Every structure is written in structure tokens, then in C-alpha cells.
Chains A and B, each alone.
Chain A
């Protein structure tokens, strides 16, 4: 879709500390110009998605709820870009550190969820050596199809990105996880994988069943290893990156293009023309919804992300960020329907991919028994929403999980202080 007239670019678009802002009101910026620099090893740079003038730096609605520091840039429509170029030698001759530095400079973060800066996941020496690289080409949530579309159109770039990261990691093997269901992108990837240069990549079909795309679940399916509680995939010798992320890595390394635009699924039941769009970071959600002809009179809820894990927005000028894989407008108020008491049916427990007992966790959090909740593994919860989806009493279980984790963190902080 066209670039927005006015882009709102938050300095926090990733997991970790926010980036340090580099521009001031009145500054002229160009497309791809760095406007905020990483404030630490687990922070990520932010680049301007448009060319124009910074009209303010201040508090704006943030996609994770609440507000956050962002630069507001008026688009001059010229799309004048900074000079972007690939590395001066082919990537396979380059030093891994050089590649990582480039990925860092381009502000590439995980684009399927939390948004962990990629360099923090792959930096040699700083992370546990990984045996296996998993490129996650499965779709992260129902309704979202952006990654599939990307795979369909850019399979070769994604697979090249996989080879680049594999080289940096020195990983023994690289798996390309893909939905095995009909109508998926498996044939398309299979064809691409046949090319001789991708001979080292292995196609790994997995059942298309939510939340299969969650990295810990994917690691278990593909390697039979379970990430221990509190651990990361690195503890199971794996690095998982999704298709969009790997594509961004390839673009950064091969052409020097920073991460200032992404593919997302836009629409939902209220949209007349739902579609996958290439959207600049900083585009207000209202513009995205307008572009896919959403009937905003019918919309009761606008969700950024997907239907299972997305954040319901209060303000429509919330901007798209690097981790936004979907924007949906819904008519129904699903969790607001009548609730009943827990009947102890255990559906939540059977649905939980982390094998927790959400019904009990809810009870503990409700009574503020945070120690018990911690003992029962509330910190393991990946907030996939499966428990609340199946709950016949329509209890907002995810809300309780988030609240419990929040209280647990506050408790730990209090003890440390």
C-alpha cells in the first residue's frame, strides 16, 4: 500500500530496551535513515520509513497498549532514500561478525511475535552454540497469511537468508518448517529447495495446528527436545526465526535495506477487501484499515496481531511496527460475552501446549497466591490463548496469566530491591 502521509515511528519496536532517539523536531530524514540507535546489545536500531520532516518527537499510542516515545514524520512523498548497498564481497566470503553487524545496523528483529533483535539471537560467542537453525515458514496465527504470501513470492530470498544465518551460527543443520496441510506453501518451498545451492536445507513439514508455530512447540516437534522451564530455544540447541525475519536478514545482508517495511495481513470480518499488504512501519492502523475498505461503523474491536494473541487497540492512529503481522477489525466482542463460573472441565489443561493447568493458575492469581502460581509454572505460559479459546465458561484466562506474571515480576523486583 502507499506510504502514509504521516508516519509515527516508535523507538521501541522490539523486545529489550528502547532505542535512543537520534532526530529532533524539524530534522529532515530520508527513507532508511537511522533515526534511533540501539541502546544496548539487546536493543535494535530504528529507521525512517518515509522521507520528509520530523514534526514532533513525543508520546504516541503504542501497539502494545498505552503510549510510548515515537517520532512523527511528515511524508514529503518523494521517497528519497539513503544510499543502500550490499556488502562489498559475497556473503559467503564475509566474516560472520561482519554479517551480524550489518543485521544489527539494519535493525532486524524477530517479526513473528516478541521481536527479539536478531543479533541477540545469533551473535557468535554471546549465545549458546546452536546445532539447528529452524526457519519457521508456518503461519503464526489463524487468519494471518502474510508469511505464506511472503514465502510464495520470495522463497529464494528466504532460503538464501537461511543459508546466511546458518553460516553465522555454524549450525549443523538448517530446517525449513512448513505447514503440511493442503493449500499451503509446501510445494513452492519444495521446488525452491531442489536448487543445488539450497541442498543443505531440509524441508520439515509440520501439522498446521495452532500453536504449532510457537518456537518452543516447533523445536519440540522437529527435534523432540523440550526447552526447560525458564529457558530459551538456545537451551535446546536451536535458533528459530520466522520467514519474514529471515527475509529481512537477506535484504539487509544482500542489499543493505534496513527494516522499515513489512508484509502484514489486513482485514478481518469487517473488511470488504481483506488482503496482504506491504506496509511501511509507522503507518497508522486507520490507514491500513481504510486501504482494505473496512466498514468502521460495524467494527467494535480493532486488533493488532492476530485473533489469538493480538492486542485490542483503543486508538486507531496506533502505528504499525516491525512485529505487526496483522491488523483486523472484528464485529464481535468475543471475551465480553456472558461468563460463567469455572466448572472444572479441564479443557484448558488439555489445550495448553505447555501442559499447565490454567484453571488452577487462574484461581491462584485471583486469590493473589502468586507463590503457588509460580510453583505451578505460570512463568512458562506462552500466552497462546488456547485455554481461553476452549473455555466453555468464557473466562479470560490469558488476562489472568498476564496479570499473574506481572505480579510475579513485581514481586521478584521488590525482593531484589
Chain B
């Protein structure tokens, strides 16, 4: 019986390193869960922005998945679209676009996300920055006018109030806020009224980013599944809230509006979508718990600074991109204390 494996009836035995059992969770199941978690926001976008939202999402997803498939073909690599990560990128990109954006621009964003940001850096797991966020940045600088032309929801107003506001023609809640603060033409009560619409998402803004509630439902699902960890989004939203509360611009931190303003800041623009779906993306966020807190806080601080002092009404996308670049640094210097390692190291 000495000799090669088996004999006549025994098929060859497989030899590999342990362990010999594995968990069922895999990259495709994780990506599928993210897609599922994005469904509420997708539904909200169709409710508020109609068929055009659906069309834009389809265009983006087709562009990302198509690009990935074409590149796999071109470089003679096994088809990698089965891991569903391109679908997630397409969805997230579409959710960060204004509903009226021309289809070809959206498609260009999708191609950029996959070809330049993802595949050029080694495909899944190799990208330094979030492909969807980078593609949005690319569109912002390439087509600034189209990227800031917001159309109102089907049954609502841009600002989210049933009555029209004097002097507010085409603006998202954040644009209104920025102008109001700049001109001193400030109505705390308007902000308070708008919050309800902002939670639901019935305001002007990017496709899938307006509805805080829908995003939150999806996020709860991901947190429950253990796919995103709470540290990044909580520190992002938390730092954003605290900063906009302390530096609320009214000079008083205990008045009613001092609490309305940070709530408004967190619900407006892309903070919710960014915190739960872009910043918490495992590839482009740190691994260590401390790293995640610093990363999230950094995102919050940069967003706040851009909104308060910068030229853009929203800064989430830039904040995430900037912090993405810090991830290797954070991970390398914040490795956990090894088992048995003394606390004070020389």
C-alpha cells in the first residue's frame, strides 16, 4: 500500500494548509448585503425623483459592471464581476449624483471609477480611495455646473418646505444654509421645519443621499450583519455634529437653533450616505479600532471645515477621499498591542 495516494478505487486526496472548515461569509455575500442595504435608499430615490432616478442608477451600474467585464476581457483575467463589488460602486456613484445629470456624464463617472480608480490599482482591494467617491470628485471638477444643478423632488420643493421661500430658487438645504449664513438672512424656524422633510428625503439633493431614514435602515442591516463596524460612521457623524454645534455661527451653544443646526448639517448633503456606506468601506478605511475612530473623526472635521470655510456647500466626498489617503499610515502606526507585549515599549 506504500506509494502514491489511494490506489484504484480511492480518488486523489486533496492536501492543503489548515483550517479545513471555513465560514460561509465571502466577498460576494458581503457585497450582496451592501446592495440589499442600499435598497431602501434606492426606493426612496424613485419615490422622490421618479423614473429618472431608476434610469440613472441603471446607467451607472451598467457602466461600472460593463467596464469591469471589458477590462477583465482586455487583460485576459478571469471575470471578476461575480464578486458584486462593481454593482456596489455603481449604486453608490448614482446615489451621489444630482437627479438631472445627463446620462453620458453618469456613465463617464462609472467608467472612471472602475478603470482608473479600481482596476488600475489592482482591482478589488487594491484601490487606495473609494471608487465611487473618486468618480464623484472627477465629475464635480469636470462638470461643475451639471453637478450642482439640482431638480426638486416630484412632490416637494428643493428646500423641503411646502411654502416657497423668498429668494431661494434652486438650492439644496445645504446651499440654502450656506447662503443664509453668508447674508445673515437666517430663519431658524425654516431649518426646524425642513428637518422632517430631510429625514424622509423629500428635498433637493443627490439621488440616494437625501433620505436619512432610508440610509439609516440600510445601515442598521449592515451593522447587524457585522459588515460595517460602528466606529467609523459614529465618529464621523459624531464629530460633525459636535463641531457644527459648538461653531454653529449664532454665538450661543444652548439655544434651540444651536441644536437644530448640527442636526441639519448631519442630515443635509452626503453625511449619512458617506458615513455609513463610503467611509465604512472596508478597503479604504483602517482595520484597527483606534484607526477607525481617527479616520471617522478626520472625515467629520474635514467635512465641517469645507462646509464652514470652503467653496463647496457639501464636503463629504472630499473629506472621505482625503482621509482615504491616510489609511495606510493609520494602519501601520496603530497596530494593536500584541498578546503579552508590555504596554510601555521603548
Contacts and interface: CB of A to CB of B under 8 A. Distances in A.
B124 A343 contact: yes
B74 interface: no
Interface string B270-305: 000000000000111101100000000000000000
A334 B19 contact: yes
B340 A231 contact: yes
B5 interface: yes
Contacts of B29: 392
Contacts of B339: 216, 220, 226-227, 229, 353-356, 380
Interface string A223-266: 00011110100000000000000000000000000000000000
B30 interface: yes
B20 interface: yes
B23 to A, nearest CB: 5
B66 interface: no
Contact of A389 (B17, B22, B83, B124): B22
Interface stretch (A12-20, A87-95, A169-177, A311-319): A311-319
B124 A341 contact: yes
B14 A344 contact: no
Contacts of B30: 343, 345, 392
B120 to A, nearest CB: 14
Contacts of A301: 13-16, 20
Interface stretch (B55-63, B184-192, B203-211, B330-338): B330-338
Interface in B1-26: 1-2, 5-6, 9-11, 13-23, 25-26
A73 interface: no
B126 interface: yes
A163 interface: no
Given A228-B340, A340-B83, 19 more contacts: A228-B341, A296-B10, A299-B13, A300-B14, A301-B13, A301-B15, A305-B18, A308-B19, A309-B18, A312-B15, A313-B13, A315-B5, A334-B20, A334-B22, A357-B288, A380-B338, A389-B19, A393-B26, A393-B125
Interface string B86-128: 0000000000000000000000000000000000001111100
B51 interface: no
A342 B125 contact: yes
Given A333-B16, A360-B331, A308 B340 contact: no
User: By DSSP majority rule, is chain B's interface helix, strand, loop, or mixed?
Assistant: loop
A261 B27 CA distance: 44
The 3 A-B residue pairs whose C-beta atoms are closest, nearest first, are A385-B19, A341-B125, A346-B287
B138 to A, nearest CB: 23
Given A229-B340, A340-B26, A390-B23, A396 B13 contact: no
A307 B21 contact: yes
B325 to A, nearest CB: 15
Interface of A: 60, 142, 216, 220, 226-229, 231, 284, 286, 296-297, 299-303, 305, 307-317, 328, 330, 333-337, 340-346, 349, 353-357, 359-360, 376-377, 380, 383, 385, 388-394, 396, 398-399, 402
A300 B340 contact: no
A383 to B, nearest CB: 8
A336 B338 contact: no
B287 A359 contact: yes
B10 A316 contact: yes
A303 B199 CA distance: 55
Contacts of B10: 296-297, 299, 316
A341 B27 CA distance: 9
A334 B284 CA distance: 28
Nearest to B229: A346
Interface string B122-144: 11111000000000000000000
Contacts of A388: 17-19, 22
B288 to A, nearest CB: 7
A229 B233 CA distance: 34
Contacts of B16: 301, 312, 333-336, 396, 399
